[in-house]
A and B are shown apart, each in its own frame.
Chain A
Amino acid sequence: MNALNLIIKREYLSRIKKRSFVVLTLLMPVLMVAIIAVPLLLSDIQDSGIKRISVIDNTGKYASHLKSSEHYAFEIAGKEQNNHLKSEVGKDIFGILQITGDLAENPTAATFVSEKQIPLDLQGYINNTLSEVIKSDKINLLAQEANIDTKIIVDIRQVIETSGNIKVTTKRWSDDGSEKETSSSIAAGVGGIFTFIMYMFILMYGTMVMQGVVEEKSNRIVEVMISSVKPFDLMMGKIIGIGLTGITQLCIWFGILAIILGAKSTLFAEADMGGLSSQLAGIEMLFSINWAEIIISFLLLFIGGYLIYASLFAMFGAAVDNAQDTQQFVMPVTLIFIFSFYVGIYSLQNPDGPLAFWCSMIPLTSPIVMMVRIPFEIPLWEKILSIVILYTSVFFTVKFAAKIYRVGILMYGKKPSIKELIKWFSYK
């Protein structure tokens, strides 16, 4: 077995076997689910009790339109009960809705008094209901004044109600001229998720490479290693070994996700069929996305991006004696990386804009930004050009980093400046 393989094997196995890796890999999905589920659960708990609301309607026109729901019970109360009710607020009843005058003439005549902040949905419901009542009152009034047929009024109501339900279907011409239904929001969602994974993994595992190099250097293991292997093998072995660890973790997570989705869809089939049909359109859209293309692009971009950043991080790790000193070098690189993440988010809204285009060509930003754009079915030549530029720069970055690394791992003492680093490049 040659040296590079041995080092990859060691790096990979020593990380996979770590208890922290196993725990993190299994715990992360649980945490993710928890982050999404816990707030939902908590809000559910809050809403479990029925809130009683007393309505004191001086006009008598509105109270009957407020319908009780599973969360709220509206009770009509007389004006004379006002004082008694006030003492009950916060105990038996949640709040009092007071309507003191004709809302059509005085829109501010309704007041809601409560001890706790009124929930947004309750406020929305009351506002909407009262508005609707006033709207129809006004229409009726106008109809009476102008003596219009009630049938026409019914038609007008219908027009008003349906006008809000228009939805634009988005289609795109593909290369063969056929139209294809697309969904920008689903493309954005898929692009966003993959981009986030890419961002997280490159940063996480790139930093891990740097820590590994610093550790090897400060433990003086390099001195032993370097007499049996070429520095390039040592560096690449670490980068590849850690990269494989990352890919393994990704595969496990995708596996878990697939199992969960599988379990969920069988549950759905047994559960309500009505809900399913409305979701069907969305699921169809998911199938319309070219998954093979996305996954292949993701892997290509991920590997390229990881190699560039990891070799830069390895270089910085080799240049210094301890982890604190890496900050000075890591900062600019991390800033570029975060910048590309924001360009990526921006590109979700405008995937074919000039910023998105250029940043998906520049090698340090392209893995992130290109990943955002891929689900939006951009032209093939753009993808190929981006990948070619990326891998060409991978080649040169790795070469450059390896030269600096080779000198750096054997240098102790003073923290070098960027100028000195460049000087190292010419060492034999």
Chain B
Amino acid sequence: MIYLEARNVIKQYAGHRALNDVSIKVPQGKIYGLLGPNGAGKTTLIRIINRITAPDSGEVFLNGRPSSQSDIYNIGYLPEERGLYKKMKVKEHALFLAELKGLKKKEANRRIDEWFEKFDITSWKDKKIEELSKGMQQKIQFITTVIHDPELLILDEPFSGFDPVNAELLKKEILELKEKGKTIILSTHNMESVEELCDEITLINKSQVVLQGNVKEIRNKYKKHVFTVIVNGNGFDFSSALFSLESKESNIETTKVKIKKLGDSSNSQILREITDRYEVLSFEEELPSMNEIFIQTVTNL
């Protein structure tokens, strides 16, 4: 089921078109990557989904209906550039943002306590925001993004400013939210986390969609049919009609080679041919990383 759909969105600013006929379909309960180089138009698209700006043409649908102003209570948005009121106290601030999202004071208080407990920050609640480190502020930001239990989460570079331990904690939270059936849009330049978290992606470049689809399918589509094979012994010396040898690297007792498949032969045919001569320790197809795909797609255009 599609939770969010943007149809043929066009946004024109003086002198440049930020979005040119962009359409995306975000399925419910999935993590959807929104990728693209700086200035590609991601933030504009996110702002349109959030109803911060309106598109010049095109429409946004949420849960099958055209989105309306009341939908903002159902969206949690963590912007890339984010700040808090420095002079406010932590809990006071969280309460303020929660109430702005339509929560009643009592309910908001209860949930804040719960989340503070979970993130182990209860002891900060009477500190002023300006006393906190950047990473601590990021935690508060994340809590206030999810405090009203929104169906759709839009996270723009959520990991920036987190140390590895807290980044892992955040990743866990995101996956947990996905388990609960929340739909998550993740906009990031960190391609590793895309591979790890995202089910589907859209790559926007120069205001247009240049790549869209399931992450696994995309990686498969971009694969170059290169395999890494490690065999026992100190040699790998034969030619085959099924593959060509790309590189060879001999270690003390093993040899690591890269081979490229030729023609339509299946993987098991190749493997059989090799096992006939050598003892195979590992046989692995090299999938392109999202990083490579990103660079290739963006620079080829």
Interfacial residues, chain A to chain B (CB-CB below 8 A): 1, 3, 6-7, 10, 14, 18, 219-221, 223-230, 410, 420, 423, 427-428
- Given A1-B99, A428-B55, A224:B82 Cβ within 8 A: yes
The reply to whether A227 and B84 contact each other, CB–CB distance below 8 Å, is no
Is B72 positioned at the interface, with any CB of A under 8 Å from its CB? yes
**Given A3-B100, A221-B84, A223-B79: 6 more A-B contacts, CB < 8 Å:** A1-B105, A220-B82, A225-B100, A226-B50, A410-B53, A428-B53
Closest to B87 in A: A14
Which single member of B14, B72, B82, B87 contacts A228 (CB below 8 Å)? B72
User: Which residues of A have CB within 8 Å of B88?
Assistant: 10, 14
User: Which residues of A have CB within 8 Å of B79?
Assistant: 220, 223-224, 227
User: Which residues of A have CB within 8 Å of B100?
Assistant: 3, 6-7, 225, 228-229
Which single member of A7, A219, A420, A427 contacts B83 (CB below 8 Å)? A219
Closest to B46 in A: A227
User: Which residues of B have CB within 8 Å of A410?
Assistant: 47, 52-53
B249-272 vs A, CB cutoff 8 Å, 1 = contact: the mask equals 000000000000000000000000
Residues of B28-79 at the interface with A, using a CB-CB cut-off of 8 Å, are 47, 50, 52-56, 69, 72, 75, 77, 79
Per the bound structure, the CA–CA distance linking A230 and B13 in Å amounts to 21
Per the bound structure, the CA–CA distance linking A1 and B107 in Å amounts to 13
Per the bound structure, the CA–CA distance linking A226 and B84 in Å amounts to 13
The reply to whether B99 and A220 contact each other, CB–CB distance below 8 Å, is no
User: Which residues of B have CB within 8 Å of A227?
Assistant: 50, 52, 72, 75, 77, 79
The reply to whether B14 and A420 contact each other, CB–CB distance below 8 Å, is yes
The reply to whether A219 and B86 contact each other, CB–CB distance below 8 Å, is yes
User: Which residues of A have CB within 8 Å of B72?
Assistant: 227-228
User: Which residues of A have CB within 8 Å of B82?
Assistant: 220, 223-224
The reply to whether A223 and B83 contact each other, CB–CB distance below 8 Å, is yes
Interface size of B by CB at 8 A reads 31
Is B85 positioned at the interface, with any CB of A under 8 Å from its CB? yes
User: Which residues of B have CB within 8 Å of A229?
Assistant: 100
Is B191 positioned at the interface, with any CB of A under 8 Å from its CB? no
Per the bound structure, the CA–CA distance linking A228 and B144 in Å amounts to 11
User: Which residues of B have CB within 8 Å of A219?
Assistant: 83-86
Which single member of A6, A14, A427 contacts B99 (CB below 8 Å)? A6
Per the bound structure, the CA–CA distance linking A423 and B100 in Å amounts to 31
Q: Report the minimal beta-carbon distance from B158 to chain A, rounded to whole angstroms.
A: 13
Q: Report the minimal beta-carbon distance from A101 to chain B, rounded to whole angstroms.
A: 78
User: Which residues of B have CB within 8 Å of A3?
Assistant: 100
Is B141 positioned at the interface, with any CB of A under 8 Å from its CB? yes
Is B245 positioned at the interface, with any CB of A under 8 Å from its CB? no
Per the bound structure, the CA–CA distance linking A272 and B298 in Å amounts to 92
Q: Could you list 11 examples of A-B contacts with CB < 8 Å?
A: A6-B100, A7-B100, A219-B86, A221-B85, A223-B79, A224-B97, A227-B79, A228-B72, A228-B97, A410-B52, A428-B56
Closest to B77 in A: A227
Per the bound structure, the CA–CA distance linking A428 and B44 in Å amounts to 13
Is B101 positioned at the interface, with any CB of A under 8 Å from its CB? yes
- Given A6-B96, A10-B96, A428-B53, A224:B101 Cβ within 8 A: no
Is B81 positioned at the interface, with any CB of A under 8 Å from its CB? yes
